Amino acid sequence: MNILVRNVLGISFVIYYASQVYNMKSEFPSAVPEIPVSDMDAALDYYHKLGFNTDWGGAEGGIAGISKGHCRMFLTDIAFRAHHGNAPPVMTWLNLDSKEEVDDLYEIWNTAGARIISPPESKPWKLHEFTVSDLDHNLFRVFYDFSRDS
């Protein structure tokens, strides 16, 4: 057990903390974005076309967990997110492992009827990327960072 004393506006606070708080993992797990949707059933149908699976939830609870491989996202409807006030559109970046994977996913999603905003292109900022929109205008920038390629 460690003790930390803080003085805030002339008031001393004594804080006891366990040393293991400072021995956290040095890496975080993957982030799970919350994607705001207006119609859960329509959104689930759209994401299924893109190859995502519904892991749990749906329209009844206002939240659904979807995934494809290691990519996980939560879809939330208006009522579920009302107390936070978050609304579409949001931007989510999907980091792939090669230019070829970006190009291949573009072809798969384009064939599946994804709403393509821009086709794959190698940008001056060293990202090979394309952009897709969902039914609520949330954007997905699918990219590969080629800045470290030799």
- Taking the mean position of all CA atoms in its chain, how far away is CA 108? 20
Structural domains for the chain: 31-145 (3.10.180.10)
pLDDT band, residue 84 (cuts 50/70/90)? confident
Strand pairing class (11-17; 53-58): unpaired
pTM over 0.85: no
What digits encode the pLDDT tens for the residues 120-132?
999 999 999 999 9
What digits encode the pLDDT tens for the residues 16-62?
545 455 556 678 888 899 999 999 999 999 999 999 999 999 999 99
Average pLDDT, the chain: 88
**Coil, helix or strand at residue 77:** coil
Predicted pLDDT at 115: 97
Report long-range pairs for 126-135 (Cβ below 8 Å, ≥24 apart): 128/99, 128/102, 129/102, 130/102, 130/106, 133/89, 134/35, 134/37, 134/43, 134/46, 134/47, 135/37, 135/38, 135/39, 135/42, 135/43, 135/46
